[in-house]
Structure 1
């Protein structure tokens, strides 16, 4: 029965002897080299943070090389080609390997304890996402040492990144590597969304949820909708480079602007994906350092959502000088002004909270003040470049470089450093040195402004970005020297921080206290299992509203004070009111996520260098590790219900739409549709450039083949829906009708792709002939990719049935496979419709 009265403690009886020891055994962390098999989000989050900071330092070293080259005119430290690789790798590392991963890393580390959960619901997914990012990112960075680094800029505009102008493998490393790393980011986002919505502590309603959780939720949802665009873009460009499908070649019906539309539909929201979690950190720190609740809590939540929505209207902001229509320019300019409103609302809320409270001047406060100053200046220059005439003058100048760094470093790096100073005691119980922190802040703040403020003037004096040298008579000498000195001062501050970090992290671990007298749950006493018992929450700052909460939680007087079935467990609560509805059994540590990540990274990286056989061997290894990982996930519980508090029992395995895994599959379907939408947009975009559609020499497949494709896809979905709705017997021997329906559904999916392929072959489709034909082939190939996935899922589902692992109390595999089958069906229907609608409209 659910627990409805939040005013009473769910567990008031004395706890049985040995309960805590059983909990500790279930959650014990692996030691030594076996730490590679850890899946606990707290451990994975720590790995994530360290790896992201390594990439921050590596990206900074590349920046110092660039600034050294530009310190004086006509310098010869590096040549033009090397400089192109340096600025490409610097931007790529900072945007893809540091900025997004660091905010996801902090979220993965903090959210379980901040939400009062033992762990997030898919710890192995977090482990896989981390190792895929770490292995792939380090391999990608190492290309700079072998002359194989990309040199087309972190935005990789074609046609300069096409095979004609970039014949080496550098661009391929970028396309396959970054696309793969973005998949890792999406996996992390799905984990965070489901965790925030489903595993909050009882009583932590949406209105009581910490601002940081809100910020991460909005940013993760943005990742789900924005990142598929860059995955689609990188796929199309790699198809052009590998198979000569001319998506971006104007002479053959392609369009370079198509890349810009897809890339910046991802790229501009990415700026806010980076900023919003940082803003959530700022809100949490402002509350703690001022000692009062946040002014305008609900308004700040609304502002976070407003920024997330408006940011998707801004991608043409980066294309003001590209020749798009005036209507699009004006609307995007207005949206660029509009996005400043919710951002300013947050700034006023922070300042008002500081005004109401008694601000403690400590290291986090210093970095918050630095953030306010730098980010506001960056916002002001952002409003300037939203003005079309000014943007046309400042575009591709060092003014834009200055604006970008004021927004990103001010809006994200300073809050991250404030957060590291604030939350470090959670890691090993120790704090950074306050005396050294003042030096670190002074060097970073002063060095940053000395480095980047002169760039505004340099840009207005006409210095273009991405030049590796300049003449003595240009009038930029002193300003560039100041910028280089500032960069080294900033780097000295980071170096001093690293020295202090090494000093602190080498100290023996001890129990943390609450040095800031904060009010949120992450400051409860923590172990490997998180909190001793999951607290009942009654406010946004529960440690302030209930001073005895720490003692109550440690005494086991709240929810789930032990392990029910001897393993790792947490509670699932309802999305809105956070009433407990299920005991969720979590997986323990294991090697499958690490091995799956190694296989996936090996597949993409080896494919880049042309080792096709070895690459597919790694890919098969990844699939095998994934199957092993999933095989034990959908398992019947020892009992249908579990006692999670005195007199309170909850179900153990809800089915269908009540399952968190079903919702995770639905989110995966949203990602799939977003990729499809990007590819469909590419087809429509290229079709609208044509005077005649289809172009001369190209044709649509016969209508009969199209109709057969649609009918077979629908038939497969009907069969799977029938399987999901029909009663599922426990015995494997009487599940033969289920297996037969799955085999028939697989036959329908394979038949649908076969007739679609045949129809296009009859029409003489040649993907290398023109951009329109290439886009049709890309949509057909996307249907073929789904067929491969359905084959794997169908065989896996039948294997579980044969093994007796499907039943009324263990049917998540069936429900989730049926859901994804419908996703694949809709994908095929949309692909078929999109290729036929533009000619009708023409």
Structure 2
């Protein structure tokens, strides 16, 4: 719900103005340009470090932090490779190896692969889209802080010898309390839920940014491929992350509360874990691949001196890959005894997914073949990536064949495939992308000579380290073993793998050293040192705090190459554009047409993202320590921070401040329609943010209901085991909740007619009905003859209704805040965006209950009747 306050509640609650957009230019060094810099430049020093909401600084922090985790994960890998270099090694104990193995996977997959790509997208998106910032700058900062604290939370277990130790896939029953008595798995479970919050918040920000913060003229057929990739995986995260977050939460409940979701002795289903985990984890493969593919698709043409071949096909292949990726999670479960029909369907679908990937490969090869390649360091990384992509893809298609998968599953062949897909396809584009955009990051060039030396060492080390794993797997070496006896035929391949791993590590260290030295002593870079076509290269290196002095108007996909590609066509307007100089302002466009829609007031730097992330992390620490008092204090602090974040500002002026004297009035034929200043209703970024939040929350409840019906389909016991639900009581509470939603809608409609106190009254009625529903639900819980730990059905019933009750509680807090703000006069007929946003969330809570009521109350009666 922080999206409510990121702009709509804290910035846009001033008297609604309309302003005719000005169009002109701002000369470099002019008073207007200096004023822009003062407006957008944040504080320096430690205060600025904590409070900044600048997307460029946040993006660089993501990249640097992810690289630190990459080095930690690499160090863990090197220790494991020393252990496996020869037979019968005893460098580490089995328990230590299990912790190293698990943390290595967690680090590389969750703490490095996606965050480093999020860093690229955070830094580049507004520059590529022609905007001044992301849609929700403070949510952007919150996403980073939560990511950082989640990483610290997970690694904080290492010094105590309590690191996660059941593999990054964390299969039950190995990870259940029966086989893992320490807090190792609890650390992993809670850390992943915390990390999921960061990922979801970031995904919401990316989705709304694309819809609302594009330059005028930036139609979907002009978007860079990295934008397509990040947008696609952001949508995927909204629907996939709830699955794994739910899985880890249910496991934590099994271990700490005594529920029975995965407990075989109480009719729980271990395969339910695999379904929930791979529903997330297989799309996650493409989450860490598609933006990397976008980096190559956007940067490779620069060094081929021609546009990307088959742009539209590559863009559609990006979307198609993710869509099919959601459908094939069961190919990770071919060896679990699923039905032949499912094997056939998911095997065929797994083969099908190679088609959109092949489209991208052919496009890259054709771009190189028909271009005039310049063999700079970035090009070397991008060209090598194509090779890594093919090797990883071919080994993946091999495992899609069910008979072969039965032989290869749980062998080192799968480990090799995983490293080529998740590391090779990620690292090579990332290293090439850092070299390519290094001038934008730092204003300097990386050293070309040392860059090539590092590249060749990385290329040789990577393939020497990971290709022999295929051979080890084909020779029967199982994964997850910490040692092996002599005479198994694995000695040579393991020794070569270890040598290659150290060579690869040496190359990575050289790359890092080159970046650090070049950032301080490298050659200063001009605006466009690579002669690149993208809009980001029209800005300074590094870009000014405001990105663009005037917001450009785009007429092509390659605004910096228009003179050579379409010399007689329409040209993008880069030096003259929309003037927005009256405070921190950005242009919001219509989500679909891309036409100017609103002049948005952007938030200043703030402490709230840091403190909300910090207190939120402390909540998880309290839960881990099983300290109710500590948890409640941290939760109260987080709640107070969130309320302070969302609290509206009272309008102090009845007119807008004047703009700078240097603004040049429009005389270009551009649209002169007056635009609203601030936001209301669908103009509000917060409205779109909460809509995205509703989508991911709906997914969470969808997975919960899936758990219910899956468990029902697998049990041989009566369902429900102890009497039917009270459908009459459920129907009465359902009607009460729906009526509450009606009165919340009436309050909003009444306020739009400037009837403040009637609106306040209707809101009080809505609150009273919501509280009544909660009381009825509480009484129903109390009247049940069983509790959450009685059996599997009880665990599901109380968890599903309990999740909904938690959302009801959040919704009631929102309604109370809205009532207070109505009474204090913060809203009127024009300033009422939070009413629509809060109402959207409350209506969602009501709709979700209809599905729960149907599943838990109506369906059992219907099934008994048939």
TM-score class, shorter-chain normalisation, is over 0.9
Specify the alignment match of 2:562 in structure 1. 545
**Superposed, which structure 2 residues align to 1:413-452 within 5 Å?**
413-452=427-466
- The alpha-carbon deviation at position 574 of structure 1 amounts to 2.0
Asked whether the equivalents of residues 555 and 572 of structure 2 are also in contact (C-alpha less than 8 Å), the reply is no
Q: 1:672 aligned to 2:697?
A: yes
Gaps of 5+ in 1: none
The answer to which structure, 1 or 2, has the higher relative contact order (CA under 8 A, 6+ apart) is 2
List per-residue Cα deviations over 1:683-739 (Å, max 9, x = no partner).
11111122343254x233311211112101101111111122224366xxx623222
- The alpha-carbon deviation at position 645 of structure 1 amounts to 7.0
Partner of 1:804, secondary structure, is coil
Specify the alignment match of 1:841 in structure 2. 863
Partner of 1:121, secondary structure, is coil
Specify the alignment match of 2:632 in structure 1. 616
**Superposed, which structure 2 residues align to 1:813-832 within 5 Å?**
813-832=834-853
Comparing 41-50 and 654-663, the one that deviates more:
654-663
Specify the alignment match of 1:719 in structure 2. 743
Comparing 574-583 and 458-467, the one that deviates more:
574-583
Specify the alignment match of 1:558 in structure 2. 577
Partner of 2:268, secondary structure, is coil
Asked whether the equivalents of residues 3 and 579 of structure 1 are also in contact (C-alpha less than 8 Å), the reply is no
- The alpha-carbon deviation at position 651 of structure 1 amounts to 1.5
Comparing 826-835 and 706-715, the one that deviates more:
826-835
Specify the alignment match of 2:187 in structure 1. 173
Partner of 1:581, secondary structure, is strand
List per-residue Cα deviations over 1:746-779 (Å, max 9, x = no partner).
2222222332332344342322121122111111
Distance 1:389 1:822, change over 3 A: same
- The alpha-carbon deviation at position 511 of structure 1 amounts to 6.4
- The alpha-carbon deviation at position 94 of structure 1 amounts to 1.0
Specify the alignment match of 1:750 in structure 2. 771
CA distance in 2 between counterparts of 1:573 and 1:640 reads: 21
Partner of 1:465, secondary structure, is coil
Partner of 2:675, secondary structure, is strand
CA distance in 2 between counterparts of 1:634 and 1:98 reads: 42
Q: 1:655 aligned to 2:680?
A: yes
List per-residue Cα deviations over 1:629-687 (Å, max 9, x = no partner).
22247979865899897343422134222322211111100011000001111111111
- The alpha-carbon deviation at position 92 of structure 1 amounts to 0.7
CA distance in 2 between counterparts of 1:170 and 1:74 reads: 27
Q: 1:699 aligned to 2:715?
A: no
Aligned length: 829
Asked whether the equivalents of residues 683 and 775 of structure 1 are also in contact (C-alpha less than 8 Å), the reply is yes
Asked whether the equivalents of residues 641 and 650 of structure 1 are also in contact (C-alpha less than 8 Å), the reply is no
Asked whether the equivalents of residues 531 and 553 of structure 1 are also in contact (C-alpha less than 8 Å), the reply is no
Aligned mate of 2:591, from 572, 575, 581? 575
Specify the alignment match of 1:591 in structure 2. 607
CA distance in 1 between counterparts of 2:304 and 2:28 reads: 38
Specify the alignment match of 1:408 in structure 2. 422
Aligned mate of 2:500, from 459, 473, 486? 486
TM-score by length of structure 1 reads: 0.95
Asked whether the equivalents of residues 127 and 593 of structure 1 are also in contact (C-alpha less than 8 Å), the reply is yes
CA distance in 2 between counterparts of 1:467 and 1:521 reads: 50
Asked whether the equivalents of residues 169 and 609 of structure 1 are also in contact (C-alpha less than 8 Å), the reply is no
Partner of 1:578, secondary structure, is coil
Specify the alignment match of 1:470 in structure 2. 484
Distance 1:634 1:153, change over 3 A: farther
Specify the alignment match of 2:377 in structure 1. 363
Q: 1:708 aligned to 2:725?
A: no
CA distance in 1 between counterparts of 2:20 and 2:209 reads: 21
Aligned mate of 1:194, from 208, 226, 229? 208
**Superposed, which structure 2 residues align to 1:216-235 within 5 Å?**
216-235=230-249
Specify the alignment match of 1:535 in structure 2. 552
Asked whether the equivalents of residues 132 and 598 of structure 1 are also in contact (C-alpha less than 8 Å), the reply is yes
- The alpha-carbon deviation at position 743 of structure 1 amounts to 2.4
Aligned mate of 2:145, from 113, 131, 135? 131
CA distance in 1 between counterparts of 2:650 and 2:852 reads: 32
Asked whether the equivalents of residues 69 and 107 of structure 2 are also in contact (C-alpha less than 8 Å), the reply is yes
Partner of 1:321, secondary structure, is helix
Q: 1:808 aligned to 2:798?
A: no
Asked whether the equivalents of residues 229 and 263 of structure 1 are also in contact (C-alpha less than 8 Å), the reply is yes
Gaps of 5+ in 2: 1-17, 667-671
Asked whether the equivalents of residues 653 and 809 of structure 1 are also in contact (C-alpha less than 8 Å), the reply is no
**Superposed, which structure 2 residues align to 1:280-429 within 5 Å?**
280-429=294-443
List per-residue Cα deviations over 1:353-386 (Å, max 9, x = no partner).
1122211101111111211111101100101000
CA distance in 1 between counterparts of 2:705 and 2:687 reads: 26
- The alpha-carbon deviation at position 807 of structure 1 amounts to 2.0
CA distance in 2 between counterparts of 1:188 and 1:635 reads: 30
Asked whether the equivalents of residues 583 and 642 of structure 1 are also in contact (C-alpha less than 8 Å), the reply is no
Distance 1:44 1:70, change over 3 A: same
CA distance in 2 between counterparts of 1:799 and 1:48 reads: 38
Specify the alignment match of 1:147 in structure 2. 161
List per-residue Cα deviations over 1:544-590 (Å, max 9, x = no partner).
115899x99785x2112x512xx211101122332212111100101
Comparing 757-766 and 274-283, the one that deviates more:
757-766
CA distance in 2 between counterparts of 1:229 and 1:633 reads: 37
Specify the alignment match of 2:58 in structure 1. 44
Q: 1:120 aligned to 2:134?
A: yes
CA distance in 1 between counterparts of 2:765 and 2:59 reads: 43
**Superposed, which structure 2 residues align to 1:726-737 within 5 Å?**
726-728=750-752, 735-737=756-758
CA distance in 1 between counterparts of 2:19 and 2:490 reads: 69
**Superposed, which structure 2 residues align to 1:48-63 within 5 Å?**
48-63=62-77
- The alpha-carbon deviation at position 224 of structure 1 amounts to 0.6
